[in-house]
């Protein structure tokens, strides 16, 4: 399967996770990428994000004291099509 696009999905209150996710996408070399910042409540309240077969999803969240923030809402936010 050829990956043509990348969706960078992140929760990044300080911007560090956003930077890391975007650097990973740049290192992979995928030219077409879309950044989706679900730090903002308005974005999290939107419909799910659809992913296509030819897209790579890079999902990043920060780690605080060896734990990640609640992820259930974020996990429901992503919809993957086969």
Q: Are 35 and 8 in contact (CB under 8 A)?
A: yes
pTM of the predicted protein model = 0.75
Domain count, the chain: 1
Q: What is the pLDDT of residues 30-68, one digit of tens each?
A: 889 999 888 887 777 776 777 788 889 898 988 888 877
Which residue range(s) make up the domain with 42? Answer: 5-80
Q: Which residue has the higher pLDDT, 66 or 19?
A: 19
Answer whether residue 80 shows pLDDT above 80: no
Beta partners for 31?
none
Burial of 11: CB neighbours in 10 Å, binned 0-12, 13-18, 19+: buried
| SS3 of residue 35 by DSSP | strand
pLDDT band at 70 (very low <50, low <70, confident <90, very high): low
From CA 38, how far away is CA 30, in angstroms rounded? 22
Averaged confidence pLDDT in the chain: 81
| SS3 of residue 65 by DSSP | coil
């Amino acid at each position: 399967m050829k990956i043509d696009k990348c969706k960078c999905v992140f929760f990044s209150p300080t911007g560090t996770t956003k930077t890391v996710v975007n650097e990973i996408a740049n290192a992979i070399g995928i030219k077409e990428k879309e950044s989706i910042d679900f730090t903002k409540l308005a974005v999290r309240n939107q419909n799910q994000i659809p992913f296509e077969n030819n897209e790579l999803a890079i999902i990043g969240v920060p780690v605080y004291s060896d734990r990640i923030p609640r992820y259930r809402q974020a996990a429901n936010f992503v919809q993957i099509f086969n």
